[in-house]
A and B are shown apart, each in its own frame.
Chain A
Amino acid sequence: MSDGAQDVLDRLARQRGDGCPSDDALAAYLQQALPADAQAALDAHLQTCPACINRLIDARELETAAHATEPLPPRLQARVRASVAASLAGPSPRPARSSARGMDRLRSLLRPRALGAIGAAAVMALAVAVTLLLPPAETPPDLTPRGTPLDVRLESLRPAVTPAGILLADEDGAWQVSISAQTRSGVAVARIQHPASTLPAASRAGLTAGAALIVLPVQGETVNAEVQRVQDARWQDADGGAHQGQLLEFSASRAEPGAALLTADLRLAGLCVAFDPATSLGLAVPIMEINQEISREREKNR
């Protein structure tokens, strides 16, 4: 069939005329729930109305899909349940693209023992670090892994109420993002330190005030955070070294314990973090994106 003929058929399939029935009437027709005379009248209409036949097919598809007994894939079912649990435990979760491959990758990168000791601020800071390295929401990340795998090391793991530091570095240590985080009367401050001269601007533009940051169960408790303020900053470390980066303030509150597995989905960065208190495994999915940023930047610098 020619493209022209196909175009005409496509058009014909959508061109509604006068007296076309409502969607509800079509659904009732399918279920044979209409009075006999209405059923017959609709039969007659359908006979000469390709658009309504196609609407009827739509309705049939919907009916069949809604009443299918085909089981959900177990992984999808687990994700749905985790999202519902997260939603019930706190503010609505943020939509995010997620990737099982990314989860598996990070599962292998993060050490359960280390994460078991990490406090709320440190876990949040990890999410902040990943978030700040990702492009803004307008350009959702391509989760296809490329380039050299990124090694993630966690340092200075301390309870949530004391300063905590996390180091993200690639294999040769050329790229580093270190984070300091502390809580003060429910407000945590994270300093994102990076070699600002080489970090792509787009990767720093992810967070704005008012963004819901994360919902994580930490040692049985769920922590909700909301970004209060983001600003560029310069500071010195304990050895007198000068740094520049971003100062991020977020409020943190605690909610009721949720289900065994809760997720935090960050729309801003396409980041999905899940933390299982039973196994102390934390999963931040699109960490591959950091890897891509690094690879792209290396290409540019060559």
Chain B
Amino acid sequence: MSEPVADDDFPGLLARARRRDPAGLEALMEQAAAFSWRMLRRFHTLSEAAREDLAHDVVLRLLERGLAQFSGSTAPEWRAYLKRMTINHAISVLRRDDIPPLWRFEEPEIDPSREMEQVDAYRHLAECVGELALIDQQIFWMRTRELPYGEMVEMLGIPQGTIASKYNRAQQKVTHCLEEVGLR
């Protein structure tokens, strides 16, 4: 597989792919497949074969219309676009096949009759959680999103043991914060 493309080189690669330069198009599609393949790891309920099918589907969609429809020009925009396409497709397949997704995808509803009360609770909760160091907050949310420790190590560059102990402390703090707003 071609090497990952530096963000600065992305606009050039995108332009080549749009001109249907064979090497450029292949490199961009391989990058996209690798990206989707990796994003799909978070769907633990998918089999390897299903992950492969989905990543290939994303490439096919890009080749058919997705590349032409991409209106951005930078690498972060392209990644956000691919992520959306990958996750939306994965969710639709999971739903179709009645496979439970790893995480909850819909935002929970706010009860309108208790909206002000809930907004206050959120504000208090955010302030309470905000007393944690920034890195501890990140670790807490990553674990809440069920990111595997291996990925967290890769993303944060911190040893797994340190992450685990920081997470335990953060979880205790958040539990305390939740109790303060009447939740446990």
Give the residues in chain A near B48, CB-CB below 8 Å: 73
Give the residues in chain B near A70, CB-CB below 8 Å: 34, 38
Q: With A13-B144, A50-B141, A54-B141 in contact, do A8 and B56 touch (Cβ < 8 Å)?
A: no
Interface centre among A1, A12, A93 (most CB of B within 10 A): A12
* Interface contact B56-A83, CB-CB below 8 Å: yes
Give the residues in chain B near A56, CB-CB below 8 Å: 138
Whole-angstrom distance from the CB of B106 to the nearest CB of chain A?
Answer: 9
Instruction: Give a binary string over B9-22; 1 marks a CB under 8 Å from any A CB, 0 the rest.
Output: 00000000000101
Give the residues in chain B near A81, CB-CB below 8 Å: 26, 30
Give the residues in chain B near A43, CB-CB below 8 Å: 134
Instruction: Give the size of the chain B interface in residues (CB under 8 angstroms).
Output: 68
CA distance A142 to B55 in the complex (A): 18
- Contact for A84 among B29, B80, B97, B142, CB less than 8 A: B29
- Contact for B183 among A5, A49, A95, CB less than 8 A: A5
* Interface contact A11-B110, CB-CB below 8 Å: yes
Q: With A72-B34, A84-B26 in contact, do A98 and B63 touch (Cβ < 8 Å)?
A: no
Is B178's CB within 8 Å of the partner chain A? yes
Q: With A23-B76, A65-B79 in contact, do A57 and B138 touch (Cβ < 8 Å)?
A: yes
Is A184's CB within 8 Å of the partner chain B? no
Instruction: Give a binary string over B127-146; 1 marks a CB under 8 Å from any A CB, 0 the rest.
Output: 10110001001100110110
* Interface contact A69-B3, CB-CB below 8 Å: yes
Whole-angstrom distance from the CB of A166 to the nearest CB of chain B?
Answer: 27
List B1-45 residues whose CB lies under 8 Å from chain A: 1, 3-4, 7, 20, 22, 25-26, 29-31, 33-35, 37-39
Instruction: Give the size of the chain A interface in residues (CB under 8 angstroms).
Output: 67
Is A2's CB within 8 Å of the partner chain B? yes
Is B125's CB within 8 Å of the partner chain A? yes
* Interface contact A93-B79, CB-CB below 8 Å: no
Is A205's CB within 8 Å of the partner chain B? no
Give the residues in chain B near A12, CB-CB below 8 Å: 122, 125-126, 129
Give the residues in chain B near A62, CB-CB below 8 Å: 76, 79-80, 83
Whole-angstrom distance from the CB of A74 to the nearest CB of chain B?
Answer: 10
Tell me the nearest residue of chain B to A27, going by C-beta: B76
* Interface contact A64-B151, CB-CB below 8 Å: yes
Give the residues in chain B near A23, CB-CB below 8 Å: 76-77, 80
Instruction: Give a binary string over A84-113; 1 marks a CB under 8 Å from any B CB, 0 the rest.
Output: 100110001111111111000000000000
> Which 7 A-B pairs rank lowest in CB-CB distance, beginning with the nearest?
A95-B60, A7-B108, A48-B130, A27-B76, A62-B79, A65-B38, A5-B183
Q: List 28 A-B contacts (CB under 8 A).
A: A4-B183, A5-B178, A8-B181, A11-B110, A11-B122, A24-B74, A50-B130, A50-B137, A57-B142, A57-B145, A58-B83, A60-B155, A62-B79, A63-B79, A66-B79, A75-B52, A76-B52, A77-B30, A79-B52, A81-B30, A83-B29, A92-B63, A92-B64, A95-B61, A98-B53, A98-B56, A100-B52, A265-B60
Residues of chain B touching chain A, judged by Cβ–Cβ distance below 8 Å, are 1, 3-4, 7, 20, 22, 25-26, 29-31, 33-35, 37-39, 48-49, 52-53, 55-57, 59-61, 63-65, 74-77, 79-80, 83, 96-97, 104, 107-108, 110, 121-122, 125-127, 129-130, 134, 137-138, 141-142, 144-145, 147, 151, 154-156, 174-175, 178, 181, 183-184
Further 4 A-B residue pairs, CB within 8 A, beyond A24-B77, A72-B37: A47-B134, A64-B38, A66-B4, A96-B60
Residues of chain A touching chain B, judged by Cβ–Cβ distance below 8 Å, are 1-2, 4-15, 23-24, 27, 31, 43, 46-50, 53-54, 56-73, 75-77, 79-81, 83-84, 87-88, 92-101, 140, 142, 265
